[in-house]
Amino acid sequence: MALAHDVTDDTIFHLEDDHGHAESGSSTMLGFWMYLMSDCLIFAMLFAVYGVLGGNYAAGPAPKDLFDLPLVALNTSMLLLSSITYGFAMLEMAKGRVGPMQAWLVITGLFGLAFIGIELYEFAHLIHEGATPQRSGFLSSFFALVGTHGLHVTFGLVWLVVLMVQVSKHGLIAANQRRLMCLSMFWHFLDVIWIGVFTFVYLMGMLR
């Protein structure tokens, strides 16, 4: 693979749009994008379930009684900040600077942890008030949708820590760069899903 990189183009014949796939791992990017799209369909199902069941309160609490918009705004800003700091980490990676990149990854992880912490606090608060998943169709679908997103962020955090260990052990080798780019797509994708969550679940819920 490294060899193909060094050989000049004059000696190699290849199709116009077939260049560099093997060494850049960019076909991995396409494959990972396919995975993200399948994940997107899972979330579409959960959004559809919430759309269908979200109005069934079973004489229980409604969104207006439960949701705390300032808290959700804080949560949203945590996720947005973690997205931009991950972007900064990728820029440092492009320059090959391991130290600053790891520092930005730590900051990203802390923002992600803050997001999960706030979400768990919110869930604990809801359950304490008796708004458990089994209370009504609205709450079942709410916990399923928001909880699935939270689980994704949690696994993203685990992945982030694993990659930081990998980078500290092996440096910015091609495989690690590819892994970091996959996690970058995953992380930004979760932020995109969260836009749907705060719009359809929280903001629309308060309007209902």
Contact positions vs another protein (CB under 8 A): 5, 9, 17, 19-21, 23-27, 29-30, 33-34, 37, 40-41, 44-45, 47-49, 51-52, 69, 72-73, 76-77, 80, 83-84, 87-88, 90-91, 93-96, 174, 177, 181, 185, 188-189, 191-192, 195-196, 198-200, 203-204, 206-207
Q: How far is the CB of 109 from another protein (least distance, A)?
A: 18
Q: How far is the CB of 75 from another protein (least distance, A)?
A: 11
Beta carbon nearer to another protein, 124 or 199: 199
Q: How far is the CB of 130 from another protein (least distance, A)?
A: 25
Beta carbon nearer to another protein, 13 or 128: 13
Q: How far is the CB of 93 from another protein (least distance, A)?
A: 7
Give the 3-state DSSP-derived string for the chain, with helices as H, strands as E and coil as C: CHHHHHCCHHHCCCCHHHCCHHHHCHHHHHHHHHHHHHHHHHHHHHHHHHHHHCCCCCCCCCHHHHCCHHHHHHHHHHHHHHHHHHHHHHHHHHHCCHHHHHHHHHHHHHHHHHHHHHHHHHHHHHHHCCCCCCCCHHHHHHHHHHHHHHHHHHHHHHHHHHHHHHHHHHCCCHHHHHHHHHHHHHHHHHHHHHHHHHHHHHHHHHHC
Q: How far is the CB of 118 from another protein (least distance, A)?
A: 15
Beta carbon nearer to another protein, 110 or 188: 188
